[in-house]
Structure 1
């Protein structure tokens, strides 16, 4: 059985990705920061569908905790699957804070950097010895880093996500000698809990976003989750170093 690690899988895109990956016969180690109930729901859904999953706590913004997290992964791999390696990594855990450029503080910038760029960079580095040859990585970026998603207020967020797109290409180059594929997925506007459940708090913005989307609606977590699962699986076996926008044609 193949094993995947999915960060930030207590809700939204990460939760969908974990469930979709498990449906394809892969065991899942999923992480959460504060939403233990959501992580338990993800595990329960996977187990209800006949899969196996374990939830571990991880704060992606605290890189000093990564060695201890790696030790927890080693123990779970051994005790649950009798493995000493895993096959897939989905760097999904994230955060979003909106502010116009002139109002962006160093504190806001640094907080986003720790979660969106430094975290995935050094978590991947920490877990690299456990990642099996022939495996795959998917980094969840954002169309805020591309022309289609340029919106005022996301300069810091988009900058970090753009850095993750570039990191994806470098990792694909360096990991290729081990047969490890690395790609990124850039969601457009998607109905998740990010930014304190912004779409629930401000439902009036949804019609406008749908009108700017070629396929006429807001994205749902499963729209992104299935794309991530496909890239990790055999269907994506000849794809690497690519950033794939999954936005329904936003601003097309």
Structure 2
């Protein structure tokens, strides 16, 4: 039985990824920050697919808690699966929001950095001793950080961190290759999730009027759904992705094509 750790799986892309992995026979350790009810929903959905899931709380912006989290992961692996390693890691947790360059405070910049770049960097480092040889990592980035992506005013800090995550993906793929560990990224376009800004406001719930305009900019005529991204993540992690590493796959339905 394969076991994946999915960071930020109480809703949206992370939740869908946990479910898609369960459909493919992979059990899940999932994390949540404030949405414990959503985490319970994910556990129930994984179990409905015949899988096993354990939910652990984690604040990806607090790297000082990572050693304790690794101990919790180790205990969950031993108690639930009678093993001391896991197979896949999905770095998905994050938050959205915008601020014009001239209005971006150091506090907001630092929060983006802690959650979107420093967190995945040092969490992966912390968990790496538990990741099996031949395993796989997927980092969830954003098409806003791609050279071909739409440059929209107000996302300079957010996209800068996602750009750093893209670079990190390639370097980890190089350094982990001797152990047969593949590292890739996916870059979603506009996707219907509960992704919130720094104040906790979920963008598409607060501003549903933007959805038609985003769909009009998308070649396939709609915004993305979490499953659209999750299916690609599950493919990259599994046997079908065995010869793919150091890649960043845009999953946007042709946004701004």
Query: How many angstroms does 1:170 deviate by?
Result: 0.2
Aligned equivalents of 1:73, 1:148: Cα separation in 2:
36
Matched with 2:51 is: 51
1:4–1:88 contact (8 Å) kept in structure 2:
yes
Rounded to whole Å, the distance in 2 between the matches of 1:199 and 1:128 is 35
Does residue 127 in structure 1 map to residue 132 in structure 2?
no
Q: How many residues align?
A: 252
2:114 matched residue in structure 1: 114
Matches within 5 A, 1:43-192: 43-146=43-146, 147-192=148-193
Within 1, Cα distance between the matches of 2:58 and 2:208?
31
Distance 1:43 1:150 in 2: 37
Question: Residue 41 of structure 2: SS of its match in structure 1?
Answer: helix
Structure 1 residue 218 and structure 2 residue 223: aligned? yes
| CA–CA separation in structure 2 for the residues paired with 1:27 and 1:203 | 34
1:251 aligns to 2:237 (yes or no): no
- Report the Cα distance in structure 2 between the residues aligned to 1:150 and 1:188, rounded to whole angstroms: 12
2:202 counterpart SS class: helix
- The C-alpha deviation readout for 1:5-29, integer Å capped at 9, x for no partner, is 0000000000000110111111100
Q: TM-score, normalization: structure 2?
A: 0.97
Q: Deviations over 1:163-212 (max 9, x none)?
A: 00000000000000000000000000000111222112111111110000
Q: Which secondary structure state, in structure 2, belongs to the residue aligned with residue 149 of structure 1?
A: coil
Equivalent runs, 1:190-201 vs 2, <5 Å: 190-195=191-196, 196-201=201-206
In structure 2, distance between residues paired with 1:39 and 1:7: 11
1:203 match: secondary structure: coil
SS in 1 for 2:64: helix
Say whether 1:236 aligns with 2:251: no
TM-score normalised over the length of structure 1: 0.99
Whole-angstrom distance in 2 between the partners of 1:64 and 1:38: 25
State the Cα distance separating 1:149 from its structure 2 match.
2.9
Residue 245 of structure 2: SS of its match in structure 1? coil
Q: Deviations over 1:16-66 (max 9, x none)?
A: 001101111111000000100000000001101111000000000000000
Alpha carbons 1:30, 1:55 under 8 Å: kept: yes
Please list every run of 5 or more consecutive structure 2 residues that lacks an aligned counterpart in the other structure: none
Separation in 2, partners of 1:101, 1:60:
24
Greater percentage in helix: 1
Cα distance in structure 2, aligned partners of 1:136 and 1:142: 19
d(CA) in 2 for partners of 1:198, 1:94: 13
The answer on whether the counterparts of 1:97 and 1:108 sit within 8 Å (CA) in structure 2 is no
